[in-house]
Amino acid sequence: MRQRLRDPVTGLLFVLPVLVLFLIFRIFPSLGAAGMSLTNWNIGGDWDIIGADNYVRLLDDVNFWLSLRVTLVYSVVYVPLTMLVALGTALLLNQVVFMRGLFRGMLFLPYVTSFVLAGIIWRWIYEFNGLINGLLAKADLGPVAFLEESGVVLPALAVVAVWKGFGYSMLILLAGLKAIPSSYLEAASIDGASPWQRFRRITLPLLKPAIFFVMVIETISAFQTFDTVYVMTGGGPARATYTLIYGIYDHGFRSFDFGYAATWGMVLFAIVLIVSLVQRRFLDRGNT
């Protein structure tokens, strides 16, 4: 009896540090974001409630629609590219036994570094007298202004993010491949299925949950792109890389227009929520 009476208190005491941290630094700011988006909060800390004015301003803001487009185009390049590289390397690692551990480690290596480091290295790689243009010059080609041309810069940034991040998705997909019973593939092989048929009819359908999980994760991370933009382009040229998060940063910490920046944050929240809910729906359907 005493044991039971003591339990509620100790349980709460053990949760208390995390509870306090979450209330102050996660839940309060989450509600605060919604609240601030209804004010004209500025750097001085003065604010008035201005209702939906920020949202009206958002809908009229050319830069907002531009940033949505930039983020979307970036995702459309980034997600398929990273899926392709991750799936390709995962399939290779699953097939090749020779020095597998070494190759897996080499492919995974960029994942443990920062986007800032990736940005710094690749800024140099893309420069006029950088690595790629140096190689192009040897072949009497180029130079290509990767970071100064609005048509090239988004794919160029996507390549950096793919390089930095595909190792993670590769490992998830590799685990998915390893979970496919080899007897399925052997049976199909005996029945005369070609390698392509085996991949298309057995591997791919069984790998679907892993592919879907990775796709959602990568889509969300594409929508949160900031570090590489900050390091490599500063949102330019001519706002060609002005992503959603860059917009939040720009309005919050260059114009100190906190209320309006919070409104941009609400849009990001809505997008991530929608992607997560779509994921939930698909997963539920997959289970039934």
Partner 1 sequence: MTITTTSRPSVRAAAPRAARRRWWRGRWPLAALLALLSVLTVSPFVAMFIVALSPAGRPTVPVRWPESLTLDNITMVLSSSGFVTWTLNSLIYAVVSVVIILLTSSMAGYAFAKKRFPGREAMFWTFLATMMVPFQATLIPTFVLVNSLDGVDTFWGLIVPTLANSQAVFLMRQFILGLPDELFDAAKVDGASEWRVYWTIVLPLTKPILATLGVFVFLWHWNDFLWPLVVGQSDATRTLTVGLTTLRTEEMQLSLLMASAAVSVVPCLLVFFLLQRYLVNSIAMTGLK
| Binding to partner 1 in span 47-86, by CB under 8 A | none
Residues 128-157, interacting with partner 1 (CB under 8 A): 131, 134-135, 138
Exposure string of 91-117, with b = 16+ CB inside 10 Å and e = fewer, is bebbeeeeeeeeebeebeebeeeebee
How many binding residues for partner 1 (CB under 8 A)?
Answer: 93
Q: Identify residues 161-190 at the interface with partner 1 (CB under 8 A).
A: 163, 168, 171-172, 174-175
Q: Which helix (H) or strand (E) holds 81?
A: helix 62-95
Q: Which is nearer to partner 1, 89 or 203 (CB)?
A: 89
Using CB atoms within 10 A of its CB, is residue 13 exposed (0-12), middle (13-18) or buried (19+)? exposed
Within residues 17-36, the interface with partner 1 by CB under 8 A covers 17-19, 21-22, 24-30, 32-33, 35-36
For partner 1, which residue of 54, 89, 219, 233 counts as binding (CB under 8 A)? 89
Residue 127 Cβ vs partner 1, minimum distance, rounded to whole Å: 8
How many residues in total does the chain contain? 288
CB of 61 to partner 1, least distance (A): 17
Dist CA 123 CA 117 (whole Å): 10
Asked if 122 contacts 115 with a C-beta cutoff of 8 angstroms, the reply is no
Smallest gap from residue 22 Cβ to partner 1 (A): 5
Minimum gap (Å) between residue 288 Cβ and partner 1 = 22
SS3 for 39? strand
Report helix angle 150-178 to 62-95, nearest 10. Answer: 40
Choose which of 75, 104, 147, 215 interacts with partner 1 (CB under 8 A).
104
Examine residue 87 and tell whether it contacts partner 1 (CB under 8 A).
no
Shortest gap between Cβ of 94 and partner 1 (angstroms)? 10
Asked whether the beta carbons of 178 and 94 are under 8 A apart, the reply is yes
**CB-nearer residue toward partner 1: 32 or 51:** 32
Closest CA to 278 of 218, 230, 212, 225: 212
- CB nearer partner 1, residue 202 or residue 248: 248
CA distances from 39 to 16, 60, 191, 260, 271 (A): 32, 17, 68, 8, 22
Given 1, 62, 98, 191, the residue binding partner 1 (CB under 8 A): 98
Rounded Cα distance between 9 and 283, Å, is: 38
Structure tokens at 7: 């339990």
DSSP-derived secondary structure letter, 140: T
Interface pick for partner 1 out of 49, 52, 76, 116 (rule CB under 8 A): 116
Q: Work out how close the CB of 275 gets to partner 1 at its nearest, in angstroms, rounded to a whole number.
A: 10
Q: Which of 40, 63, 189, 224 binds partner 1 (CB under 8 A)?
A: 224
Q: Which of residues 228-287 bind partner 1 (CB under 8 A)?
A: 230-231, 245, 248-249, 252-253, 258, 261-262, 265-266, 268-269, 272-273, 276
